Structure 1
């Protein structure tokens, strides 16, 4: 099909419907009627002599040609939108849009972000805190910082491991003022155990530390993320199981102490993007800075262990 005859309106309707897996949601996104979206897609299928959707009861499913076309169109439309945004923003303050989960943002990124600003005063960082991995559409962040227990990659993205996660118990020194002795890992059960999302972390740590399976008990309050359990530990509310990478300043200052050196390998931290090699200049500069900062954190942790 010649470029001059490309059915751009129909392609736009198809892309929205395919991405949303719904004609009605595509209509809402494009501010047109569902009938208009359906008609445009029918005309496109007629022109291509190929069905792009299977129309099932109350849902539509892409055919194989539809999947292939959607992949190309989404990437192309996103690229066009990014380019238009870059052109419109030329001469203005540059922006690096970053998505992060709450723990990385609060425990690692925010304490360092002013350093990036001083190094790059012409780049503003727009930080979106969200536990879900975004789709990296043109109106979303270009980069994401993510923690994962098991995943090392995600669909339609590139992911680069920045560091491994190593969890270890920490507590405020004031907790020991009551005279409770800590001689073996099981003694930590005398204190309130603080949990992040799941009680399995403490159970796994106790087993790694040599506790018998029948002795593993881990009651205590549950927090949504590491930033909250860290704050509770600093306040003396109990013993938290946290990542060493995010606790170096507190351990060095003595506001938190490590009763045992046992470290539980519990996943890793990743830099994620649609394409790490095709970032805008502000996002590329931010990505390079993140890599350097994580490398420095890992190096400092290795030094502190010796």
Structure 2
């Protein structure tokens, strides 16, 4: 809280006033955070403070998190008392694939209310009508359908691509890479991807994040190359915000699929059938 308030106000004093604590308390908490993260979040000057690059990056991540929380709370409030079809998905799938399609769904099915349950924790599935997964559909039970089987490619911003002019997977060993740390999710990492293309050498570790949306944003901000799942990043590529860095791609080892939990719900079945029209 102290960091977010200080970063937003660009002032320890203003943050302290907002939080009803002393400026010294804010400064102490931020120093503790900097020690824990092993990096400076603010440049300190006699007349004030200024965010470092790391501090600005953390602020953006926090603000996006708060926006998603507010959106989820608003959605849950608006759905209270209504018979909504609930769909569980990860942040990445919700933001990059599901939400744009639900916007189309409501144009023709405005009488059906849909609520998203967004979670990046794979353990367990909360009470929901449908859920979208990245995994091995052959190990599933119940009514499931593949949505898409992806190709994984190396992506970067247009500026990053022009600056480095990469041609082969070996060239990627010399540029900063954005690593997604998401254990137990099945997401392919850079080393696995490179080995699939026959490269077994060293790779740079420039940035590590635990959220795919943040990883893509870091790539858009010219911070490095990122692995892109074609089905999730096609809109960003079509818009020219990210580009393929080398021609080679790797077939994803797992599928994106949807599972229907509430088979007795006519509305859930309508949403299920509608979503699966996009399947490969």
Q: Quote the offset at 1:216 in angstroms.
A: 3.3
Q: Quote the offset at 1:226 in angstroms.
A: 2.5
Whole-angstrom CA distance in 1 between matches of 2:123 and 2:269: 19
Q: Tell me which of the two structures has the higher relative contact order, counting C-alpha pairs closer than 8 angstroms and 6 or more residues apart.
A: 2
Q: Quote the offset at 1:151 in angstroms.
A: 5.7
Q: Quote the offset at 1:176 in angstroms.
A: 3.6
- Identify unmatched segments of 5+ residues in structure 2: 1-80
Whole-angstrom CA distance in 1 between matches of 2:172 and 2:245: 9
Q: Does 1:246 align with 2:232?
A: yes
Q: Does 1:202 align with 2:190?
A: yes
8 Å contact kept, 1:152–1:159: no
Q: Quote the offset at 1:246 in angstroms.
A: 1.4
8 Å contact kept, 2:166–2:246: no
Please state which structure has a larger fraction of its residues in strand.
2
Q: Which residue number corresponds to residue 103 of structure 1?
A: 92
Match of 1:145 among 132, 151, 158: 132
Whole-angstrom CA distance in 2 between matches of 1:101 and 1:241: 17
8 Å contact kept, 2:132–2:256: yes
Going from structure 1 to structure 2, the CA distance change for 1:117 and 1:200 (only over 3 Å counts) comes to: closer
Count of residue correspondences: 194
- Identify unmatched segments of 5+ residues in structure 1: 1-91, 299-306
Q: Quote the offset at 1:240 in angstroms.
A: 0.6
Q: Which residue number corresponds to residue 144 of structure 2?
A: 159
What TM-score do you get using the length of structure 2 for normalisation?
0.62
What TM-score do you get using the length of structure 1 for normalisation?
0.57
8 Å contact kept, 1:99–1:127: yes
User: What CA RMSD, in Å, does the superposition of the two structures yield over aligned residues?
Assistant: 2.4
Q: Which residue number corresponds to residue 218 of structure 2?
A: 232
Going from structure 1 to structure 2, the CA distance change for 1:135 and 1:182 (only over 3 Å counts) comes to: closer
Whole-angstrom CA distance in 2 between matches of 1:218 and 1:270: 32
Q: Quote the offset at 1:253 in angstroms.
A: 2.2
8 Å contact kept, 1:202–1:218: no
Q: Which residue number corresponds to residue 3 of structure 2?
A: none
Match of 2:244 among 258, 263, 268: 258
1:13-24 matches, cutoff 5 A: none
Q: Quote the offset at 1:166 in angstroms.
A: 1.9
Q: Which residue number corresponds to residue 61 of structure 2?
A: none
Q: Quote the offset at 1:175 in angstroms.
A: 1.2
Residues 6-46 of structure 1, C-alpha deviations (whole Å, 9 max, x = no match): xxxxxxxxxxxxxxxxxxxxxxxxxxxxxxxxxxxxxxxxx
Whole-angstrom CA distance in 1 between matches of 2:149 and 2:229: 9
